[in-house]
Structure 1
Amino acid sequence: MAHPVSFDASRLDVLMPMHVLVSADGIVRHAGPTLKKVHPGREIVGLPFFDLFERRRPGDPMDIRRFCRTVGAKLSLRLRDPDRTTVTGIAICLEGDDGVLVNLSFGIAVVEAVARFGLAGSDFAATDLTLELLYLVEANAAAMEEASKTGARLAGAKDAAEAEALTDPLTGLDNRRGLDIALNRLISRGTRFALMHIDLDYFKAVNDTYGHAAGDLVLQRVAASLRAITRGGDVVARIGGDEFVAVFMRAADETQLAELAGRLIARLEEPVQIGDSVARISASVGVTATNLYARPELDRMIKDADAAAYASKRRGRSCYTLVHHDRALTEPPGDGGRAGSGAEEAGVRPDDAMPGTVDAAAAVGRGPAG
């Protein structure tokens, strides 16, 4: 035999903070504290139940008295708030046609509801699994955040390692591998560019006289000078002890290439102060460009520029040699002076046009006393 059990509203508030007592004619007689909290600044007691909630499915009853027929069945409702927050519930009929008791829950929308309405643990029944769900959500969010940070750190470390693998540590320029990647990308895209092979002149004399630290300083100054004459998109690399390659996107014809090579040499011939002394270097430069070939091939361009730099070295150093159209240099010249049929003879700068040109004896000149 069932025995009637009665609860006052305050006890219902503890057991079911999201409950609502609805009279037989559909008016809210009492609401749990959490349900009141989600309607801030609004007195919901005395309002029609369906002024606060709307059905999510057409089959749900609109007559509160028909709720009694849904005993044990889940109700699917929405709050009539701007966000149309979803809630689920279950209803039981009170004895004596005294209305309906509806207990509600946010269900899977609880995370959004907690943030939206500023809810805390005390707004839920102590036995409500919502607390465990919120803990899991927070733990998962923390784990995901940490995983994201770890991933970002690993990605950053990977990027740094890749950049380091492509960078010359002394000068900060690309190394040979970095240059190869950049050039292969340009060739594959059909990008037009000029390539200069730069072999420093008189660097060994500086290195032997002042030591490796001074030599490193000179190499860093060379790197800075090369950066100064390049623009965004250009590539500068150190490919050996005193060998560099510069790739220019803007040079198109031989006149431009000659002017650019001349400025490059003049820049490198600027004296470098080392203590009380002045070190001077220059460069032998080989120049080629994609538009000088019917079909540019990277290996051939590199060989041609290298051979042209060698030709400049044979011609007396401190000069540049242009690869001539599609008759590029393929081997060092053997005539003791001419650069070969593939080199542009006009590429050699006359001595009287090179006030900064140095010879081997002047490579390690002394600066002013004091």
Structure 2
Amino acid sequence: MTQTDNLAAMLDIMCPLSISVDQDGRIRRVGPTLQKLRPDEPMPGRLLFDFFEIRRPRNNSNLARVLTQPGERLDLRFLDAPRTELKGVVAPSPDGEGAVINLSFGISVLDAVRDYSLTSADFPVTDLTIEMLYLVEAKSAAMEASRKLNLRLRGAMIAAEEQAFTDTLTGLRNRRALDVMVQRLIDSRTRFSLMQLDLDFFKQVNDTLGHAAGDHVLQCIAEIMHEETRESDIIARVGGDEFVIVLNGLVEKHRLSMIARKLISRISKPIPYGGAKCRVSASIGTVRAPETGFVDIDLILHQADLALYAAKRSGRATHVFYSSDMDDRQAPMGAPVRPARVELDRPARRKRS
């Protein structure tokens, strides 16, 4: 092996990103890592300008002079994509017929590793790039583990929150969820209406057919309410046989009346259970959130409760809108009250078989 061959072998080991050029800029030898960046384009015999744009020094018209300056710094960039940038330093050949340019990726090393699938074998063992790559890999592994852990924790938190906000029997929202969701509507100044629905004669179902029949009735009622409302609406079970429906953005009385009548009509139909038929009906009180002025969730629920109380007093299976004069007629069920002037939505009664 000649001295030239020995020098080339040494450069391949210690400077795999180096390139040797003659005084005219023609490539004589290229390091294995640098050639790996353009595996389908052999560089030896080609001009430096066939592959690279010289960005520094800016005035590089006299390349021969640049190549004779020991320690001259070069900034190169590939002409074709990916346009990787390289930094280099010039070491003139002892024979004065060219130079060796030792290159590095600088801060673009991570992009280069990604773009060219480089490994530790493509760098000198003494290059600090190897240490940095190890750190980057360790950091990436730690971040990925942290991301997966955060996803699991978030999933567990969402599941726990969903469970805390859900009525286990019907799958509807519970009172806690209702408070949170209605408060969001209030805070965002969104108009809405709230229906409070109470089942009539539900106790008789439990007393005569048992609690399993009562649970079945509640689940059927929940399904009916889902079918008669929109996905954007909120349905909550707030008591044994008490429900609240929050209709997001809906305040028109004729549409609210239509929804209430459909609910009352469907709920009034017998619900089969085993060989028996469970018969209940529904009374509904509705309040529309005011367009202006103070809105409070407890006040809205209280007003809906007054409207529901009026519906019960008016014969059950009835829908009543809240009106401000109801505030003066609060009384516990069974206590004598003066007759209330209420607006009724009562579907035509059907004869029960």
Partner residue in 1 for 2:67:
67
Could you report, residue by residue, the CA deviation over 1:34-91 in whole angstroms, capped at 9, with x for unpaired residues?
22221232221122234333333345755244334242x6433223333321112222
Match of 2:295 in 1: 297
3-state SS, counterpart of residue 41 of structure 2? coil
Measured against aligned partners, the alpha-carbon deviations of 1:166-215 in whole angstroms (never above 9, x if no partner) come to: 22222221211222222223333443332211111121222233333332
Which residue in 1 is equivalent to 2:156? 157
TM-superposed deviation, 1:287: 2.1
Paired residue for 1:107? 106
Query: Could you tell me the percent identity over the aligned residues?
Result: 41
In structure 2, the partner of 1:147 is: 146
Residues 131/294 of structure 1: CA separation in 2 closer, same or farther (3 Å cut):
closer
State the distance in 1 between where 2:294 and 2:155 align: 36
CA displacement 1:193-245 (0-9 Å, x = unmatched): 32211111121222233333332222111111111110132221111111101
Partner residue of 1:54?
Answer: 53
Aligned to 1:275: 274
Secondary structure of the residue that 2:67 maps to in structure 1?
A: helix
Residue 223 (structure 1) aligns with: 222
Q: 1:327 corresponds to which letter in structure 2?
A: D
Distance 1:355 1:11 in 2: 101
Summarize the alignment of residues 1-370 of structure 1 with structure 2, pairs less than 5 Å apart. 7-58=6-57, 62-71=62-71, 74-249=73-248, 252-290=251-289, 295=293, 297-298=295-296, 299-324=298-323, 326-329=324-327, 331-332=330-331, 340-341=340-341, 343-344=342-343, 346-348=344-346, 353-355=348-350
Letter in 2 for 1:280: R
- Code of the aligned partner of 2:349: M
Residues 314, 336 of structure 1: 8 Å contact kept: no
Offset at residue 277 of structure 1 (A) = 1.6
Once residues 255 and 27 of structure 2 are traced to their aligned partners in structure 1, the CA distance between those partners, rounded to angstroms, is 87
TM-score by length of 2: 0.86
Distance 1:332 1:32 in 2: 95
TM-score of the superposed pair, with normalisation by structure 1: 0.82
| Unmatched tracts of structure 1, length 5 or more | 363-370
Cα 1:44–1:258 change in 2 (3 A) is: closer
Instruction: Give the Cα separation in 2 of the matches to 1:32 and 1:96.
Output: 20
Instruction: Mark the CA change 1:199 to 1:99 in structure 2 (over 3 Å): closer, same or farther.
Output: same
The answer to which of 181-190 and 100-109 deviates more is 181-190
- Are residues 70 and 262 of structure 1, via their aligned partners in 2, closer, same or farther at CA, if it must alter by over 3 Å? same
Over the aligned positions, Cα root-mean-square deviation in angstroms equals 2.9
1:332, 1:93 → 2: CA distance? Answer: 104
Structure 2 gaps, min length 5: none
Distance 2:250 2:69 in 1: 86
CA contact (8 A) 1:315 1:339 kept: no
Q: 1 CA distance for matches of 2:311 and 2:337?
A: 9
* Secondary structure of the corresponding residue to residue 103 of structure 1: strand
* Separation in structure 2 between the aligned mates of residue 247 and residue 91 of structure 1, nearest angstrom: 76
Which secondary structure does the structure 2 equivalent of 1:88 belong to? Answer: strand
Change beyond 3 A, Cα 1:340–1:140: same
Amino acid at match of 2:218: L
- Structure 1 residues 36 and 259: alpha-carbon distance in aligned structure 2, compared to 1, 3 A threshold: closer
Give the whole-Å Cα distance in 1 for the aligned partners of 2:249 and 2:349.
Answer: 25
8 A contact 2:57–2:73 mirrored in 1: no
CA deviation map 1:251-281 (0-9, x unaligned):
5444443332221111112222222222121
CA shift, 1:144, in A, is: 1.6
